[in-house]
Structure 1
Amino acid sequence: MRFRFRRLAGAVLAAAVASASAGCGSDSATADHDPKLDVGSYSTQRLDSGYDDRPSLDRGILVDSLRLGERIAFGSEVAAEFAAGQGGQVLASAQGIRNIPGVSEEAMYQYHPLAVYFAHSAETPFLGAHQHHFELSIALIAFPDEQAAAAAASDLEQHDNAVNGRTIKNEAVALPDYPAALSHWRPGVPNMVSWMAYKTIVVAVDVQAREAKLDLLTDYVSKTYKQQLPRLDGYTASPRVQQPSLKIDPDKLLTKLVKTGDAHPDQRDFAVYAPRAFAVLGTDPAVTAREFDTRGVKSIAVSNNKYLYQLRDAAAARDFTGFLASDPTVSNYGSMAGVSGAPEIACFKAAKPNPTVVSARRFRCLIPHDTLVSEVFSEQELDVRQLAAAEYVLLKDAG
C-alpha cells in the first residue's frame, strides 16, 4: 500500500463525508440505517473475541514480533538508495523461526529467541532479476537477556561465515563507530553482512550495492546501526511464560470487521498493527508513517480483504476517509455508485490492476463511523457493495 495525498474530488465522497459527520456520536444500534440493506450472505453479527481470550504462544510471539516491527528503521532513513519498501515480515512462531540470509534458527535456537521481525528495502519497488541493485535488509531478534543476545550474534556470524565462505573466503570487516559489530564481506562481491547485539536484541544487517566498494558498504552498514539502535531503546520482549497471555487486539477492533475468513491471529490476514509497523508493509514506508502520524491514525486492524483504521477522534476519521478516497494507490480508483440506503458509504472501481498486491482490489468501499474508517475490497461489484453494507450494519450496531 502506497499513500499519496491528492486533492479530493467527486460528489460521492463529499456526500459520504457529510453523512458521516452528521451521524457521528449516535448511540443507536440499528434505527439509523435501512433494515433492508442488501448484505448478501455476509453475517452482521460481531465476531467473538476468543481469538484473544484463549492462551496462545503463537499469538504472543506474533505480538512481540510486531512490536519489534514498530521499531525497525526504514531504508530511506539510512540512505536514499534504499527508499523503496519491499515489505516486512514476522519470522518467528511457536513452530520455530523461518531462516533467511543472516538469520538461522540452527545458529541461535539454544539462546531461546523470543521474537523476530525482518524488513527489506531497495532503490525501486520492482527489482529486475539477475542484476545488482541497492538493497538493504534488517532483522531484529529479541532474546531473554543481554548475554544470550551477545552469544547469538557471535554464533550467527560464525554460522554465516561457515556456510557462505566455503569456496571463497570471507574477510572480516571492522566498523570504527561500532566495534561490537561482527561483519564480513567477500572481496569483489558488492555485499556485506553484519550482526550486533544491542542490549537484549540482535540487529542483523545485509546490504548490497551496485559495485563492490568496501568503503561504501561499510558506510551503509554504519548508517543502518546509527538509525536502528536508538529505536530499540525501551523495548523488552515478554518472557516466554507470559507470551501466551498477550493480546493482539486489546481494543477489539477485529470484532468490528465482517468475518470472511479464519479468525486466527495471522500477520497477513488477521492482526492489529501499530502505524509504523503497518507502514513497513508498503512501498513508501516513511511517507505512509508520516501520513498516519499527521492524520491521527492510532492502529490498523487487518482481516482478510478488509482494513479498519482507528483514528484519534471523529474529525480525524472524516479527514482520513477523504484521504483514502483520493486514490492513494496505483490503481487510480474512480467513484461509482455506493450502497442504497447508506449514504455514508463511498465506493470505487480501479481503472487498472495494482501490481504491488496479490489480493482482490478491483472494487473497494469506505465506511466511516465515529473514530473508525473501514475499507473493504472485492473483485466483484455486487459483492463489494454487499460486504460494505454488512460492515456498515456491524459498525453501527457496535456503537
Structure 2
Amino acid sequence: MRFAFRRLAVAALTVAIASVSTACGSDSQTTDHASVLDVGAYSTQRPDSGFDDRSSRSRGMLVESLRLGERVVFGSEVAPEFSAGHGGKVLATGSGFRNADGVSAAAMEPFNPLAAFISNAQDTPYIGEYHKHYELSVALVAFPDDQTAANAAAAMEREDFGANGSNVPVPLADHPTALSHWRPGTPNLGSWMAFKSVVIAVYVEGVQANLDQLAGFVSKTYQQQMPKLESYTPTSPDQLSMLRMDRDNLLTRLVKTDDAIPDQRSFAVYSARGFAGLGADPTTAARDYDAQGVQAIAVSDNKYLYKLNDAAASKSFTNYLAGDSTVSKYIPIAGVPGTVDVMCFKATQPNPTIVGARRFRCLIPYDGVVAEVFSDQESDVRQLAAAQYLLLKDAG
C-alpha cells in the first residue's frame, strides 16, 4: 500500500456552546480553561523548536526534497489515464537514497545527489492483482550543477538499459536530450532527462505494448514538468544542512504526541500543492486549497495544522473540511465541552488508504489556522482536541 494523505469525509456540524466561568487575574484565562477542559495526559505546553535549531544534512535533504515535491507534475495534468493519485515519496534519507521506478540509488549516488522526490499516478485508486493498468511515475532528483545532472541522467539510463539485453533506445523528437528505452513487446517505457541541475526520471506503463502511445505520454510529461521547474532555485550544497523545515513555527503549535524527528509522514511542513500531491485527487485538492487560502500544512504524528490567510479564511476552511466527503464518511458527534468552535466526527467505515489512527477526528479553528486531530478512541480524541485548543489559544 502506498502512503498517502487523504482528505477525510464529514458533514457540517454546529457544536453546542458551553458557558465557562472566568476568574479574575491577568493570566486567569489559561488556568480556568485548563481546569474545565479535560486534556487527559496531553501537555498544553508549546513544544520547542530543537529540530530546526541545529545543523542537519538529513533535515536539509528532506526540506529540499519537499521543495521538489511542490513542483512535480500531477498525473492528471499529463493524461486522463493517470487521473488517480497514488501519493508521493521523498527518496532522500540521512543514510542514502531509496530506489524507485526509474531511479537507481547506486547509479546516481556517485554524482552527489542533494534531494529526490517521486510521485505516482494510475488509472484507478485501487489496483487488483491481475488488473492491467496505466501507471506514471515521475521522479525529480537535484544535483550540484547542470553538468553533474546530465552525467547522472546518463548513468541512470545506462544502468537500467543494461539490466535487460532486449532493451532498445527510443528517441523522442520533442526532447532530443532525453535518454529513453523500452523492451519491444512490453507495455512500459523509461526515460531520463536533465533539466538544468535536476534529473527528471519518467516511467510509464500501459495496458498494451504501444510504443507511440507510451512515447507520447513521456513527451507530454516533460512538456508539463519543465515549466514547473522554472521557479525552482536550488539550494547550494554548502547551505543544505542549514535549511529550516518550519520557518513559520507551525509544528510548535501542535500538541506533542511523538518524537520531533523530521520525517515526511509524521513530522514535516508542506506547501499546499505539495500536500495536495499526496492524495487521491491532487488536482482538485490543490485547486480547493488555493481557493480557500491555504498557505502551508504542518504534519505532526496524528495531527495537521493548516495555515490560512486570516481568521475568516480559517472558519471557511473548517467548514470545507467538515463537508469534504471521501472514503471514511464521517458523521458529526458531540464536540469538546467548554469550547464553542471545536467540531468532532466519527468515521462510519475504515479508510484502507490511510496510515494511522483515523476513526475519530476533531477540527479546531483559531485565528488564522485550523488544527485537525485524530484518534481511534472517542474520549481520547476529545482530550487531544481540548489540549490542542488550549495550546493554540496560549501560543497565540
TM-score band, normalised by shorter chain: over 0.9
* SS in structure 2 at match of 1:193: strand
- In structure 2, the residue matched to 1:136 is 136
User: Matches of 1:54 and 1:151 in 2, distance apart?
Assistant: 33
Q: Deviations over 1:110-142 (max 9, x none)?
A: 211111000000001101113321000000001
User: What secondary structure does 1:30 align onto?
Assistant: helix
Aligned-partner Cα distance in 1 for 2:195–2:393 = 47
Shift of 1:209: 0.5
Instruction: Write out aligned runs for 1:151-230 (5 A).
Output: 151-163=151-163, 165-166=164-165, 169-230=166-227
Q: Alpha-carbon deviation of 1:344?
A: 1.5
- Distance in 2 separating the partners of 1:32 and 1:213: 69
Question: How much has 1:102 moved relative to structure 2?
Answer: 1.4
Native 8 Å contact 1:29 1:396 kept in 2: no
Q: Give the alignment partner of residue 301 of structure 2, picking from 294, 304, 314.
A: 304
Cα distance change of structure 1 residues 5 and 334 upon mapping to structure 2, 3 Å threshold: closer
- CA deviations on 1:271-317 (whole Å, 9 max, x unpaired) are 00001111111000000000000000000000000000000111110
Counterpart of 1:231 in structure 2 is 228
Partner of 2:265: 268
**1:2 deviation in Å?**
4.3
Q: Does 1:381 align with 2:384?
A: no
2: CA distance, partners of 1:199 / 1:28: 58
Kept in 2, the 8 Å contact 1:133–1:210? The answer is: yes
Pair 302,155 (structure 1): closer, same or farther in 2 beyond 3 Å: same
Following TM superposition, the consecutive aligned residue runs of length 4 or more in structure 1 with deviations greater than 6 angstroms are none
* Cα distance between partner residues in 1 of 2:220 and 2:29: 53
User: How far apart, CA to CA, are the structure 2 residues paired with 1:71 and 1:243?
Assistant: 19
Residue 326 of structure 1, CA deviation: 1.0
Residues 32 and 327 of structure 1: CA distance in aligned 2, closer, same or farther (over 3 Å): farther
For residue 80 of structure 2, what is the aligned residue in structure 1?
Answer: 80
Q: 2:285 aligns with which of 280, 285, 288?
A: 288
TM-score, structure 2 length as denominator? 0.94
Tell me how far apart the structure 2 counterparts of residues 92 and 376 of structure 1 sit (CA, whole Å).
28
How far, CA to CA, are the matches of 1:120 and 1:29 in structure 2? 48
Q: State the match for 2:14 in structure 1.
A: 11
Q: 1:9 offset after TM fit, Å?
A: 3.8
State how far apart, in whole Å, the 2-side matches of 1:397 and 1:328 are: 32
Q: Quick check: 2:335–2:382 contact (8 Å CA) kept in 1?
A: yes
- Quickly say closer, same or farther: Cα 1:267–1:225, change in 2 above 3 A: same
Counterpart AA for 1:141: V
1:240 Cα offset (Å):
2.4
- Is 1:247 matched with 2:244? yes
Q: Is the 8 A contact 1:86 1:125 kept in 2?
A: yes
Structure 2 match to 1:146: 146
Q: CA deviation at 1:243?
A: 1.1
For residues 299-352 of structure 1, the C-alpha deviation after alignment (integer angstroms, 9 at most, x for no partner) is 000000000000011111000000111143311111111111112211001111
Residue in 2 that maps onto 1:22: none
Per-residue CA deviations over 1:127-178 (Å, capped at 9, x if unaligned) read: 1113321000000001111100111111110000112x14xx1111011100
Q: Which residue of 1 aligns with 2:24?
A: none
SS at match of 2:238: coil
Change (3 A) 1:10 1:100: closer
Deviation of 1:234 (Å):
2.9
Rounded to whole Å, the distance in 1 between the matches of 2:12 and 2:89 is 35
Q: Is the 8 A contact 2:9 2:328 kept in 1?
A: no
Preserved contact between residue 8 and residue 329 of structure 2 (Cα < 8 Å):
no
- Deviations along 1:76-133, one digit per CA (max 9) or x if unpaired, are 0000000100010100122110011311121121211111000000001101113321
Q: Does 1:66 pair with 2:66? A: yes
The one-letter code matched in structure 2 to 1:171 is V
User: Contact conserved, 1:327 with 1:333, CA < 8 A, in 2?
Assistant: no
Q: CA RMSD in A?
A: 1.9
8 Å CA contact 2:12, 2:319 repeated in 1: no
What amino acid does structure 1 have at the position aligned with 2:157?
E
Question: Deviation of residue 35 (structure 1)?
Answer: 3.0
CA–CA distance in structure 2, aligned partners of residues 98 and 104 of structure 1: 8
Give, in whole Å, the separation in 2 of the partners of 1:97 and 1:48. 29
